[in-house]
Structure 1
Amino acid sequence: MENTDYKKLHYTLEAAPTMSQFEDVELGPPIEVFLMNKLYNEDSFPNKVNLGVGAYRTNEGKPWVLPVVRIAEQALANDEILNKEYLPVLGLETFAVAATKMLLGVDNMAIIDNRAFGVQCLSGTGSLRVGAEFLAKVLGRKIFYYSNPTWENHKLVFKNAGFEEGREYRYWCSKSRGLDINGMLEDLRNAPEGSVIILHSCAHNPTGCDPSPEQWDKIAEVMKERRLFPFFDSAYQGFASGDLDKDAAAVRNFANKGFELFCAQSFAKNFGLYNERVGNLTVILNNVDLVPNVKSQLTLLIRGMYSNPPSHGARIVSYVLSNKDLYDQWRENIRTMSSRIIQMRQLLRDNLERLGTPGDWRHITQQIGMFSYTGLNVLQSENMVKKHHVYMLKSGRISMCGITPSNVEYVAKSIHETVNSVTNKL
């Protein structure tokens, strides 16, 4: 073909009408928490406050890289034996073993009997997805239950993994601003046998309201009676109370009662490894002989999903958990984070009560973990954003990490004005 022919062909392509196979793709709704973060970053208001994003902040409102993470990264960078070869499909074995022992405790019978194992996944979300896909495609489970309210991604993950139906169980009582244990138990009693129940192991997101040990016993009793499958989401072990064992008590309780279960562990919060996507799916079976079968099916699922996980974040966690001195330092780091959040809860409540803000604000300090369900309704939450530049979710959920000694008074005054000016009409 001569050069002129090339020119004719180029002209023909440019002149052709624009056609797309994507014409019918609709614009999806924005993800609220990321939209709030974007709006916050674009806001020039000097006293703006970001209470939307679920990430730890210092008293100065800055991100914090844990000191033990810095130490581990330096040690790994200087280790010339390490390379960038692929990890196995199920991930870094030393990490998965250490994470599973951290969750269940080294003396747990499921570990001693080799009935428990871990699979490295892409943070907590990836662990949920791998576990959900196994339950839907390998075990044929069709129905999953989630708390009302819950972390909004639970529904999306399980639906995309192949579950046919998601149902709610009652959890939050807006009147008492606490757990609706009777409603929860009733909904679990009415769940079809074999249903998968998503349970927050501690620091329930978004309410910050957890069952008591006695209530967990009742939940376990109903689930065993109805033959329901527990799928725990453990995003805040150690970060919630500062005590690793206390924050894992619910999962250990179910394990000790003989449940087969899954637990999705995230190391985003308690290690501050948000963008490293470090997670572990802990699996507990009753028959050790079935472990190879289950591992083989998980291997096939992951192979067809993302093939194998990244190593850097997992090596950091493994390095810290296997070094006693660093492990002890890390426990101090998480106590630092959890203590600051507890202090901010008290400061916010004190300021609201000092202002005489209508309502009972004891729930602020009774809740635990990163988030607080304030009790503000949609209109009130929107007022906080539009009038006061305090960015929060429409549900009334705020991240306590965004509150600092320098902004807590402003946040309290904003809530005070909002509660008095925007009545609860919803």
Structure 2
Amino acid sequence: MRKQLETIIPGGTRRIFHFASDVLTHNPTGTDPTPEQWAKIADVIQEKNHIPFFDVAYQGFASGSLDEDATSVRLFAERGMEFFVAQSYSKNLGLYAERIGAINVVCSSADAATRVRSQLKRICSAYVLESTGSWGEDCGKCRLVFHSEANWHVLIRWPNKAQQSDNMTNKWHVYITKDGRISLAGLSTAKCEYLADAIINSYHSALLYWETPIEL
């Protein structure tokens, strides 16, 4: 990677990194630079005037500390370099359906920051003004308000994942998304059997509902 930064990639190029501190939380594969290696990477990027873009999707999962996992990014900030940091809170906060995240840009001057802020506002407006999870709930409420008589039962002929998810949450206090996704990073060995019981119970809780004939 260092050789590519030095000789192959043109100067002034944006470069994407998955980051952490001693252990890199990359997905699905990657390398694990040490703090010393990060310093050498920063040397090359600074010399070649590259603009790094850090993809921060798993902060806290590498060392268990949010602060320690920011070591590599903080190194670039301390050197006064310009870079982007895209943060997602889907994994470390379990907010999969709420589109929660942030884009942070470290600029070389107040004037540059003002111009970048202006452009980011234009780009992100389409994203921050809607939430996919809330959108689904709102559609259900609108149907009740307008007393829709349309028959949508054909859309629920497949297994009712939402009913299973509700059972997992309300009865077993296992918090997953409506479509059944779960963060295994938060699962300890001691809780594996409990989770298995919750999944089995939730599966059977919706089984009778699935087998009920649907009127079209």
Q: TM-score range by the shorter chain?
A: 0.5 to 0.7
Matched, 1:234 2:51: no
Partner residue of 2:111 out of 289, 300, 316: 289
SS of residue in 2 equivalent to 1:275: coil
Matched, 1:214 2:42: no
SS of residue in 2 equivalent to 1:274: coil
Distance 1:239 1:307 in 2: 26
Question: What is the CA-CA distance between 1:240 and the residue it aligns to?
Answer: 2.6
Which residue of the partner structure matches residue 167 of structure 2? none
Which residue of the partner structure matches residue 280 of structure 1? 102
Which residue of the partner structure matches residue 378 of structure 1? none
Which residue of the partner structure matches residue 187 of structure 1? 4
AA at the equivalent of 2:104: T
Which residue of the partner structure matches residue 19 of structure 2? 201
Cα RMSD over matched residues? Answer: 2.9
User: CA contact under 8 A between 1:240 and 1:338: conserved in structure 2?
Assistant: no
Matched, 1:257 2:79: yes
Distance 1:189 1:212 in 2: 19
Question: What is the CA-CA distance between 1:294 and the residue it aligns to?
Answer: 1.6
AA at the equivalent of 2:102: N
The TM-score with structure 2 as length reference comes to: 0.57
SS of residue in 1 equivalent to 2:118: helix
When residues 275 and 286 of structure 1 are mapped into structure 2, their CA distance, relative to the original with a 3 A threshold, is same
Matched, 1:243 2:65: yes
User: CA contact under 8 A between 1:194 and 1:229: conserved in structure 2?
Assistant: yes
Distance 1:338 1:241 in 2: 13
Distance 1:307 1:209 in 2: 32
SS of residue in 1 equivalent to 2:86: strand
Question: What is the CA-CA distance between 1:221 and the residue it aligns to?
Answer: 0.6
Question: What is the CA-CA distance between 1:274 and the residue it aligns to?
Answer: 0.9
AA at the equivalent of 2:2: L
User: CA contact under 8 A between 2:11 and 2:50: conserved in structure 1?
Assistant: yes
Question: What is the CA-CA distance between 1:405 and the residue it aligns to?
Answer: 7.2
Question: What is the CA-CA distance between 1:207 and the residue it aligns to?
Answer: 2.3
Deviations 1:223-248 (A, max 9, x none): 11111110000001112321011111
Question: What is the CA-CA distance between 1:340 and the residue it aligns to?
Answer: 4.9
Question: What is the CA-CA distance between 1:283 and the residue it aligns to?
Answer: 0.8
> Number of matched residues?
139
Distance 1:266 1:198 in 2: 15
AA at the equivalent of 1:197: R
The TM-score with structure 1 as length reference comes to: 0.30
Partner residue of 2:129 out of 302, 309, 312: 309
When residues 199 and 240 of structure 1 are mapped into structure 2, their CA distance, relative to the original with a 3 A threshold, is same
Question: What is the CA-CA distance between 1:272 and the residue it aligns to?
Answer: 0.5
AA at the equivalent of 1:301: I
SS of residue in 1 equivalent to 2:15: strand
User: CA contact under 8 A between 1:236 and 1:269: conserved in structure 2?
Assistant: yes
User: CA contact under 8 A between 1:242 and 1:338: conserved in structure 2?
Assistant: no
User: CA contact under 8 A between 2:98 and 2:131: conserved in structure 1?
Assistant: no
AA at the equivalent of 1:274: Y
- Percent of paired sites with the same residue: 46
Distance 1:405 1:340 in 2: 11
User: CA contact under 8 A between 1:201 and 1:234: conserved in structure 2?
Assistant: yes
Matched, 1:223 2:48: no
User: CA contact under 8 A between 1:238 and 1:244: conserved in structure 2?
Assistant: yes
When residues 311 and 288 of structure 1 are mapped into structure 2, their CA distance, relative to the original with a 3 A threshold, is farther
Distance 1:250 1:278 in 2: 23
Distance 1:290 1:219 in 2: 25
Deviations 1:116-152 (A, max 9, x none): xxxxxxxxxxxxxxxxxxxxxxxxxxxxxxxxxxxxx
User: CA contact under 8 A between 2:52 and 2:83: conserved in structure 1?
Assistant: yes
**Structure 1 unmatched ranges of 5 or more:** 1-183, 314-336, 345-403, 407-426
When residues 240 and 309 of structure 1 are mapped into structure 2, their CA distance, relative to the original with a 3 A threshold, is farther
AA at the equivalent of 2:19: S
